[in-house]
Structure 1
Amino acid sequence: MPIDLPPVTRALLIANLAIFGLQQLIPDPMIMHFALWPLGTDLAGPDGTRVAFGIWQLVSYGFLHGGLPHLFFNMLALWMFGGAIERLFGSRPFATYYLACVVGAAVAQLIVVRYFTGGIYPTLGASGGGFGLLLAFGMMFPHQRLMLLFPPIPMPAWLFVTAYGAIELFLGVTGTQAGVAHFAHLGGMAAGFVIIQYWRGRLPLKPRRILMR
């Protein structure tokens, strides 16, 4: 993968790393105010500060992480796929796409928590954006070979993305991997799919930009 990353991908990597560093300094305020809290949340934080859902959390949660492994794998996805997609889309559309996937993942998570799982707990991480990039890579470069980590099996990108999405759906429906927002991941992929189809001119709305692949 190229080391010379385009500007938005590089800026996103730097922002995530910087905010993770800030989390280490003031962890409670960062989680209380900038993680994604379920709709209707009304709690008192450790210092008495009110904890509630805020509209800005639809984006801000995507720059917080629950630890170094969480940060590493999300940034690995951004590094692996972000550059190729930004060069194809252009920097401004890429930024729009990435943030829309983050928001789409947040909306999916809010719906699932409110109507299906319940509970009051924060969601955080760039996985929604990462899964949106994975979806875009599979659609734009379907025959590019990708390698699984465990086991190390190469496969075309379209198959990798399809299999990963199916696994996420299975894990989300069965609840066999607690503590992971599988439906947020799927929400990021769904948002990415809609945007790409819109840009390709395959939705009823008139596209502002059409991808020629």
Structure 2
Amino acid sequence: MYRARQPVFNNVPRLPLALALSFVAVFVAQSLFPQLTLLFYNVGAIVPALGFGQGDRILGGWSPYIFHVFLHGGLMHLVFNSMATLTFGAGTFRPFGSGIRGGTGFLLFFFFCSIAGAALQIAVAPDLRVPVIGASTGLSGILAAAGWADGGYRGMLRFALPWGAFNLLLALMGEFSPIPISWAGHLGGLIAGALTYPFFVAVFGSRRL
């Protein structure tokens, strides 16, 4: 079993760092050129009311499932997700090892969780017309994966259960929730990450869990 006992922000692998910087770059571009907002949202924002096909998009109905992770609703949203990418992403990445194979596996895993989160959000809120954006669908899967990398099955539960319970609480609170976050998107990504990370590492990784 590989146990990732690394200090926070110590020697962050390049790929999680590049992913976090891509979030920042898109946010800066949108801030400097507000006219790009409609374009970015057309390409990346999940609108559950449009169904699984996601309507008529410039890059096709598939694009929001991937590109919603690059859009953020404010500075704190961006900071939180970027920090999570650097911390949990680093631990998740290391069992994949260096090289193209490992990097491909890490990105496929991240976007698989992102797609799962987006799909669950659409399924549970088919009437919601508010755009859903942010990297936390994929990062919820990364959180569960970091637990796997840190301590196997028990490590995964230690990381995933508190986040899952928090989002279930938000779901139970419904419209009375004080935090307008995509609990279904988080749970979809979390479940996908918890169930599939060992498979991705087995296929693409250089170290055994």
Report the TM-score when normalising by structure 1.
Answer: 0.76
* Structure with a larger share of its residues in strand: 1
Q: Report the CA distance between 1:87 and its aligned residue.
A: 1.3
Once the 2 structures are TM-superposed, how far is the Cα of residue 178 of structure 1 from its aligned partner?
Answer: 4.8
1:74 partnered with 2:53:
no
1:100 & 1:177 partners in 2: Cα distance?
29
2:129 corresponds to 1:120: yes
Q: Tell me if the contact between 1:7 and 1:91 (Cα under 8 Å) persists in the aligned partners.
A: no
- Alpha-carbon RMSD across the aligned residues, in angstroms, is 2.5
- Aligned: 1:96 with 2:95: no
What is the match of residue 193 of structure 1?
Answer: 194
Deviation at 1:63, TM superposition (A): 0.5
Aligned pair partner of 1:108 in 113, 116, 120? 120
CA 92–33 in structure 1, closer or farther in 2 if over 3 Å, else same? closer
Greater Rg, structure 1 or structure 2? 1
Across the two proteins, how many residue pairs are aligned to each other? 184
d(CA) in 1 for partners of 2:200, 2:39: 39
> Which residue identity lines up with residue 171 of structure 1 in the other structure?
L
- The letter for the 2-side match of 1:165 is G
- Percent identity reads 28
Amino acid at match of 1:31: Y
Which amino acid in structure 1 is aligned with residue 163 of structure 2?
Y
Task: Please show how residues 51-90 of structure 1 align to structure 2 within 5 Å.
Answer: 54-89=61-96, 90=102
- State the alpha-carbon separation in 2 of the partners of residues 164 and 6 from structure 1: 24
Select the structure that is richer in helix: 2
What runs of 5+ residues in structure 2 fail to find an aligned partner?
Answer: 1-7, 97-101
Q: Which residue of 2 aligns with 1:168?
A: 167
| 1:84-139: CA deviation from partner (whole Å, max 9, x where unpaired) | 2111123221111111111111111111111xxx2311100000111111111122
Q: Runs in 1 of length 4+ with deviation above 4 angstroms?
A: 50-53
Give 2:5's aligned residue.
none
Partner of 1:34: 44
TM-score by length of 2: 0.77
